[in-house]
Amino acid sequence: MADELKARILDILRQMTPPDGGADVVTRSLVSDIFIADGKAFFSLTVPAADAQRFEPFCRAIEAEVARLDGISKAMVALTAEKTAGSAGARASAPPQPRQAPAQAPAPAAGRRPGAAKPGIPGIDRIIAVASGKGGVGKSTTAVNLALGLATFGLRVGILDADVYGPSIPRLLGLKDKPKTSGGRTIVPPEAFGLKAMSMGLMVDEETPMIWRGPMVMSALTQMLREVEWGELDILVVDMPPGTGDAQLTMAQQVPLAGAVIVSTPQDLALIDARKGLAMFQKVEVPLLGIVENMSYFVAPDTGNRYDIFGHGGARTEATRLGVPFLGEVPLEMAIRESSDAGRPVVAADPDGPHAAAYRDIAAKVLAELENARPKSRAPSIVFD
């Protein structure tokens, strides 16, 4: 059924004339793999950055046409900028290939180990990191709501809190009980709002400081990745600590990350640090899925007036400059803060509200970028006698 729907969607795209007057987007290989889940279709169009504004109405027209298909209740089309050769996440010029086709994956650069050499986590299809160059930009709130947004598309999602020194996931998800163990060997992660979650904050008291050196942090992360019964997950979202230290390098070097999302606020000071995070992931050959501008603007609840408290559009401008997808804006909003503090993230607390819709849109774009990124082969299952 899914394959039939994908073929019908491609037929629709072949019949639609792009705004630049060129051949249809299928013939020009501008369409990513089409992801269909729970009656919803997600894919992206990759166009030259200069044409992005012209293609926005075209994307909305595609969504309307595809949503008319029997078996499709909603369509979301993300618009991504065409990368220049050598930039992170650049698409191959050849037509899209099936995910299993090894020809799609480029050969590793000389002197570098291919990503496939990193052992995956049994049962987990893809792992994505949510990172920021500095603290206080709302990275953990974004990570939790992104994970919940991905789950609304019918995916099995887990979240790992890799911020050993300042774990936030237990508070954001309202988790208080310590996790149980299975046979005294592995940890059974608790669940909240349909997410499996693991955090050092579940193992120690909330006010207990973690005074650990680098090797202990790396050991703790390895255990939370490989000694937890994650089960079968489509995506594991990793909430990284801020900066570019041991935890980030451990994740990048020990597991095949499918991509990274960078969270920043609009002001120059935050963007300076965000650039460092972007550069780190580029150096360790992790695809950049895009940038989120958090606290993008504030709308006064009493007057309705909008205020750009931290400036506005800085992350979008930076994304364009670096050739990285811009995933969206999230406003500075009391409802997001209040629901987060109460342990009920806004995507779960108000799923029909505008803020949940913003996170779901970001999640849809992340899914589209994952389909563009180089596929990773699943690691073999490990059986303990």
Residue 234 belongs to domain with CATH number = 3.40.50.300
Output the pLDDT for position 125.
92
Q: Are residues 133 and 52 in the same domain?
A: no
What is the CATH classification number for the domain harbouring 20?
Answer: 3.30.300.130
Output the pLDDT for position 378.
45
- Whether 185 is covered by a domain: the verdict is yes
* Strand pairing category for 288-293 and 259-264: parallel
Q: At what angle do helices 314-322 and 268-283 cross, to 10 degrees?
A: 30
Q: Are residues 185 and 319 in the same domain?
A: yes
Output the pLDDT for position 13.
94
pTM: 0.66
- Whether 196 is covered by a domain: the verdict is yes
Q: Are residues 138 and 62 in the same domain?
A: no
Structural domain count of the chain:
2
Task: Order the strands of the 124-131 sheet from edge to edge.
Answer: 191-192, 195-199, 157-161, 233-239, 124-131, 259-264, 288-293, 326-329
Q: Are residues 128 and 213 in the same domain?
A: yes
Most confident of 67-71, 83-87, 175-179, 242-246: 67-71
- Whether 385 is covered by a domain: the verdict is no
Report how far residue 280's alpha carbon sits from residue 26's, in angstroms, rounded to the nearest whole number.
Answer: 34
Q: Are residues 63 and 148 in the same domain?
A: no
- Whether 142 is covered by a domain: the verdict is yes
Domain assignment of residue 155, given as a range:
119-372
- Whether 381 is covered by a domain: the verdict is no
Query: Quick one: 104 exposed, middle or buried, by C-beta within 10 A (0-12, 13-18, 19+)?
Result: middle
Q: Are residues 148 and 219 in the same domain?
A: yes
Return the SS3 of 304: coil
Q: Are residues 61 and 210 in the same domain?
A: no
Report how far residue 34's alpha carbon sits from residue 75's, in angstroms, rounded to the nearest whole number.
Answer: 10
- Whether 76 is covered by a domain: the verdict is yes
Report how far residue 238's alpha carbon sits from residue 236's, in angstroms, rounded to the nearest whole number.
Answer: 6
Picking from 32, 59, 82, the residue at the C-terminal end of a domain is: 82
Output the pLDDT for position 347.
92
- Whether 109 is covered by a domain: the verdict is no
Report how far residue 266's alpha carbon sits from residue 298's, in angstroms, rounded to the nearest whole number.
Answer: 12
Residue-wise pLDDT for 339-382, tens only, equals: 888 889 999 988 888 888 999 999 999 998 888 765 444 444 44
**Residue 36 has which token pair?**
């269909």
Picking from 58, 82, 106, the residue at the C-terminal end of a domain is: 82
- Whether 26 is covered by a domain: the verdict is yes
Buried residues in 287-315 as b, exposed as e (16+ CB within 10 A): bbbbbbbbbbbbeeeeeeeeeeebbbebb
Closest-CA residue to 362 (of 55, 36, 137, 143): 143
Picking from 82, 97, 131, the residue at the C-terminal end of a domain is: 82
